[in-house]
Amino acid sequence: LIMGGAGYIGSHIVRLLLQSSDFIPIIFDNLVTGDKITIPEGVVFVEGDAKNEQLLIETMQKYQITGVIHLCAYSLVGESVANPLKYFENNVVGAISLLKAMNHVNIKHLVFSSTAATYGEPQKIPILETDPTVPINPYGQSKLMIEQMIRSLDINSICFRYFNVAGAALGVGEMHEPETHLIPVIIKASLNNKSMKQFGSDYPTEDGTCVRDYIHVLDLAEAHVLGMRYLLKTPNQKLILNLASQVGYSVKQIINAVKKVTPIEVIQEKRREGDPATLIADASKAFELLGWKAKLDVGEMVASAYNFHKNIE
């Protein structure tokens, strides 16, 4: 069962599962941020909200679900600060409803899409899974609460913590309204002949702009598939794994990568509140346990995202 299977990340996971011989994906999505056009022909789609426990139970029983990949959440940091209860209600209450439904039907395997926002301002780089979790916004807090709930239950689970997801593959890509993620923001601005804002050029980094760890959505989707495969053959797991390219790119480097495919005008703005200077994670544990590592670099993220947006704009 792919919770949020019509969304950006979910739609890529569904396509990878369809290519595999050992999984049949069932999509559950309320289409608030997901889109019906991403759902492949012939795939079972249940339109519903994660907070609808009864519908979840019926879906799990009807399709004899063996495992759940839980992706659906509100994920805008700024909005979570402005409207915390919206995030706690949707993300946390939705997860409680899902966990109750899983418990009712006795489903024991869960891959949870968490976030590196659970770490807050890291004390050191690269970030390890054992580092302190002190989230600095309600989005990160909501995801950490869900991690803690999952750990307290008798569930075979993996919580993935990852940073900035980008790129497009398999005919689907990022379609958020409004768009807040750096790579599509730059690309959409250039395709529509608009300028973009760059927040802060006085950070303690090499070129003064924020450094982030980016991960291609196809690499991320592959990790979720490997994670579920691992859980189905390995009992009693309560894992937390970072997913990352382990390479930091600055905002300026990303802008320059986009400039290679399309011109863009950049306007300098002051720093935004709550943006740490550098976020890079150590993902060696995911390699050790799942044999997973990021294969696609930032050039491929930018090129694939550009081609996707050029076709839909």
Catalytic residue set: 139
DSSP 40: P
102 in Cβ contact with 162 (< 8 Å): no
Other residues' Cβ atoms within 10 Å of the Cβ of residue 251: 23
- Nearby residues of 55 by Cβ (< 8 Å), 6 or more positions away: 46, 48, 49
**Backbone angles phi and psi of 143, in degrees to 5:** -70, -40
According to DSSP, the residues that pair with 27 across neighbouring strands are 2, 45
DSSP 126: S
**Token pair of 73, please?**
């959440």
DSSP 33: S
Amino acid of residue 58: E
* Cα 274 to Cα 268: distance, rounded to the nearest angstrom: 18
Q: What is the dihedral of CA 75, 62, 96, 53, to 10 degrees?
A: 100
26-29 and 44-47 strand pairing: parallel
With vertex at residue 149, the alpha carbon angle to CA 148 and CA 155, rounded to the nearest 5 degrees, is 110
| Nearest one of 49, 41, 33 to 14, comparing CA atoms | 41
